[in-house]
Amino acid sequence: MTLCGWVDTYRDHGGTLFIDLRDRYGKTQVVFAPESEAANLEAGRRLRSEDVVSITGKVAPRPAGTENPDLATGQIEVRVRRVEVLNKSKVPPMKPSAKEQPSEDLRLKYRFLDLRRSEMQRTLILRHRMAKLIRDYFDELGFIDIETPMLGRSTPEGARDYLVPSRVQPGMFYALPQSPQLYKQILMIAGYDRYVQIARCFRDEDLRADRQPEFTQLDLEMAFVDANDVIGVIDGLMAKLAKELLGSELSLPLPRMTYDEAMERFGHDAPDLRFGMELVDVSDLAATADFRVFRETVASGGKVRGMNAKNAADRYSRKGIDELTSYVTGDFGAKGLAWFKVGDERRLASPIAKNFSDETLAKIAERMQAEPGDLLLFVADKWEITCKALNGLRRRLGADLKLYQPEQMHFSWVVEFPMFEYDKEEACWAAMHHPFTSPRPRDRALLATEPAKCRAQAYDLVINGFEAGGGTIRIHDQKLQSQVFNLLGIDEETAATRFGFLLDALQYGAPPHGGIALGLDRLVMLFGGLDNIRDCIAFPKTQRATDMMTGAPGEVDGKQLRELGVKIIRE
């Protein structure tokens, strides 16, 4: 047989040469025996890591006792009869087969080497399989895959747009799509009642480990549906992906909770449900204590909330608790972290215990379901701060205390989000999801009286504490859409300029419709058990939106700028 690939490792055992030849299918041991032709032996001795070679030889079983059960080809070897060096490699700055890999910046700079790593190949093959399963699933359900434009109009949808100047219309700009939102709504109005697309999207926003300036999403829209219909379709997709990719069976329908319940129980609208440790409100009990921080917080309208870290009292010394305190104060702006360790007979021990009556301590222990060996942790602050700090603390404790298995996955829905959140800086309402979200029918009257109480027909898919996707039932009535625009501070002239085509289309027989978008990159990250979305993308950007391999973004020729009517203003 003939094998082509890259030299992975090289070993010279007293005249017999062993080379592991690698390609994306795996590794095979190649043997240059002493009885091989002299030219072959000489060529073999010159081979080094990452050389590209073609080797022809005979497949034979490995000698007894030399088999490698950890290798798919570990029972055989190829004994060389002819070798051809197709390309010599420079000494590589990183070795794809090395257990310890260099910094991420170096890996991204030499991405063509990094992509040879078996871990990267497994992830990109997982991505390929996932995309194929998704397409097959929606094809079976009668969805139509329709491409939407990359060059569109800039619309205010939350993040900054990436703009593309027009050469033929100087001073005018296209925007790369943040999502195909408006186009897919137009498709519903046009009668394509089941649309799907694996779409490229772009957002010029501050980046984190799970975000990229350009990303891929599974985008779908359906006509004549309600929220349950859309959720049901995604339930089926998750069950299919879990079975085919993980070998696990999901129980359907996936569990749901409202936004209000998620914030009350977990402090976050995408809670990690692989473990418990729910938040408990003890504000009423704290108000009766002599502990000034608790009492004054409640008196000023704040909350005292906490969690019970089961059997964790001995896991955290005073130094360990001080580190947790620094975490919630430094990362989330909490004023501090109060704690009690639970001793025999459920007695609560802490430096602040003297500020509480025995009766109050007993009631706190009862409400927190405290048992000997538990560690009770509390944050006293504004509602929003208690949510952020305790959610962050809960996630950290879940990982520190190993409350779930790395391969464990939990799927759920959070529904009935608020329609709006108040933007204090802009002194106006902002859409919690996007401006095209429909309110619950029973809440429509609240738009004119109490927008803060209005709940949306919105739903987010949550996997392992990550928002894997979000969707809504859309507004299909032009008057209602104009009313929502007005609430968001979008006047009629601005609405007509930026969304006129949608407002116009809504007057020509728009059906009820809704959909959802799921981040494909994030799905691959979650199904692959990874913690960095850049490892799920072949050619990702850094947190500064830079391509380390190509050097993008870069300067362009002055002639190009003049043709576009663009001038660079350097600060």
Half-sphere exposure of 39 (CA within 13 A, CB side): 5
**How many Å apart are CA 395 and CA 418, to the nearest integer?**
24
**Token code pair at residue 100:** 């310890």
Looking at residue 455, the DSSP 8-state letter turns out to be B
CATH no., domain 105-253+511-544+554-566 = 3.30.930.10
Which among 567, 544, 566 is positioned nearest to 204, based on CA atoms? 544
How many Cβ atoms from other residues are within 10 Å of residue 16's Cβ?
A: 15
Contact call for residues 212 and 235 (beta carbons, < 8 A): no
Long-range contacts of 477-486 (CB under 8 A, 24+ apart): 477/506, 477/510, 478/503, 478/506, 478/507, 478/510, 480/438, 480/444, 481/436, 481/506, 483/447, 483/448, 484/431, 484/435, 484/437, 484/447, 485/435
Read off the pLDDT of residues 203-238 as tens digits, 9 standing for 90 and up.
998 766 668 999 999 999 999 999 999 999 999 999
Contact call for residues 258 and 415 (beta carbons, < 8 A): yes
Alpha helix segments (H runs only) across 31-114: 38-45, 104-109, 111-114
Task: List phi, psi (to 5°) of 412.
Answer: -160, 175
Q: What is the pLDDT of residue 38?
A: 85
- Give the sign of the dihedral formed by CA 420, CA 426, CA 428, CA 434: negative
**Token code pair at residue 420:** 């709006």
Digit-by-digit pLDDT tens for the chain (571 residues) are 999 999 999 998 878 999 999 999 999 999 998 877 888 888 999 999 999 999 999 999 999 999 999 999 999 999 999 999 999 999 999 999 999 999 999 999 999 999 999 999 999 999 999 999 999 999 999 999 999 999 998 876 567 899 999 999 999 999 999 999 999 999 999 999 999 999 999 999 876 666 899 999 999 999 999 999 999 999 999 999 999 999 999 999 999 999 999 999 999 999 999 999 999 999 999 999 999 999 999 999 999 999 999 999 999 999 999 999 999 999 999 999 999 999 999 999 999 999 999 999 999 999 999 999 999 999 999 999 999 999 999 999 999 999 999 889 999 999 999 999 888 777 778 898 889 999 999 999 999 999 999 999 999 999 999 999 999 999 999 999 999 998 988 888 988 888 889 999 999 999 999 999 999 999 999 999 998 999 999 999 998 899 999 999 999 999 999 999 999 998 8
The CATH number of 2-87, from 2.40.50.140, 3.30.70.1520, 2.60.40.1730, 2.30.40.10, is: 2.40.50.140
**Token code pair at residue 568:** 């660079």
- In terms of pTM, does the model score above 0.85? yes
Q: Please say whether the structural domain 275-403 has been given the CATH code 3.30.1360.30.
A: yes
Which among 443, 349, 450, 329 is positioned nearest to 392, based on CA atoms? 329
Give the start-to-end residue ranges of the domains of the chain: 2-87, 105-253+511-544+554-566, 275-403
**Identical fold between 2-87 and 275-403:** no
**Token code pair at residue 128:** 């390929």
**How many Å apart are CA 241 and CA 313, to the nearest integer?**
40
Q: What is the pLDDT of residue 211?
A: 81
Peptide linkage before 553 cis (omega within 30 of 0): yes
Q: What is the pLDDT of residue 15?
A: 80
Q: What is the pLDDT of residue 47?
A: 94
